[in-house]
Amino acid sequence: MYEERSSRLTGAVVWHITPDDIAPDGAAGRPVLPDGCMDLLWNEGRLLVAGPDTRAYTSHGPARRWAGLRFRPGTAPAFFGVPAHELRDQRVELADLWSATQVRRLAARVDAAADPVTALEDIALERAADLAAPERWVTRLVEALEAGRPVAATADELGIGARQLHRRSRNAFGYGPKTLARVLRLQRALRLARSGVPLAETAIRAGYADQPHLSRDVRELAGMPLGRLLGGG
């Protein structure tokens, strides 16, 4: 089963998966869709980092427990100390980014905790306390694109040139602002559809030209038809 809640870390979400959410063939029952985020992961003794995705990710392997902390878009690179584009579409060991001794100590701490989710959250809060707040442009860009604002208009409002915004966005989000806008538009559409809004209306309200445009984007980003993604087979 998959469950999530808002984290005590501002803008973040904590979540966990128990083995009954693993399909019989060993694949996780929930594909991870692109969302502009990066995650700190715990998997029974291992600490990993999920980089920003540009396509759906499905894990394979034996059924195990997972816990994670999903950072708000643009905030994880400062936490992990690496530009987001270096981890795009990857799952890497945290020890590849931090010292092995530190990671062993942190992994043992999570392993020993009654609740791995809370332990991960505590670790994130402790480290975040020593970090500066996200740059204002990051927050403003995410807010504007989540609301469906055009990239060009948002760049003008931020006073950042197109090339500079693309370079900054690759470091903060793993890809340029147009890809980020597309990913956030997909998430916006899924929220609408799952709340019961008809698909034709969902497409328009989310910023697509029409329902076929929405369907094409879902196939490209999620790797499956819209109906299947929404649970309709």
pLDDT band for position 31 (50/70/90)? confident
**CATH number of the domain to which 161 belongs:** 1.10.10.60
Q: Are residues 11 and 119 in the same domain?
A: yes
pLDDT band for position 25 (50/70/90)? very low
Structural domain count of the chain = 2
**CATH number of the domain to which 95 belongs:** 2.60.120
Residue that is last in its domain, among 82, 109, 128: 128
| Rounded-to-integer distance, Cα 116 and Cα 65, Å | 10
The whole-number pLDDT of residue 205 equals 97
pLDDT 10s digits, 1-15: 889 999 999 999 999
Type and span of the H or E element at 119: helix 116-128
pLDDT 10s digits, 174-196: 999 999 999 999 999 999 999 99
Range of the domain at 91: 2-128
The whole-number pLDDT of residue 61 equals 61
Q: What three-state secondary structure class fits 185?
A: helix
Angle at 115 between CA 109 and CA 116, to 5 degrees: 55
Q: What three-state secondary structure class fits 49?
A: strand
pLDDT 10s digits, 44-78: 899 999 999 999 998 766 657 899 999 999 999 99
pLDDT band for position 28 (50/70/90)? very low
Residue that is last in its domain, among 96, 128, 160: 128
Q: Are residues 98 and 170 in the same domain?
A: no
pLDDT band for position 30 (50/70/90)? low
Statement: residue 19 has pLDDT above 80: no
Percent of the chain topping pLDDT 90:
86
Residue that is last in its domain, among 100, 128, 156: 128
* Residue in this structure with the two tokens 């903060």, named with its chain if needed: 172
Q: What is the 3-state secondary structure (H, E, C) of 138-169?
A: HHHHHHHHHCCCCHHHHHHHHCCCHHHHHHHH
Statement: residue 23 has pLDDT above 60: no
96 versus 2: the higher-pLDDT residue is: 96
| Rounded-to-integer distance, Cα 141 and Cα 143, Å | 5
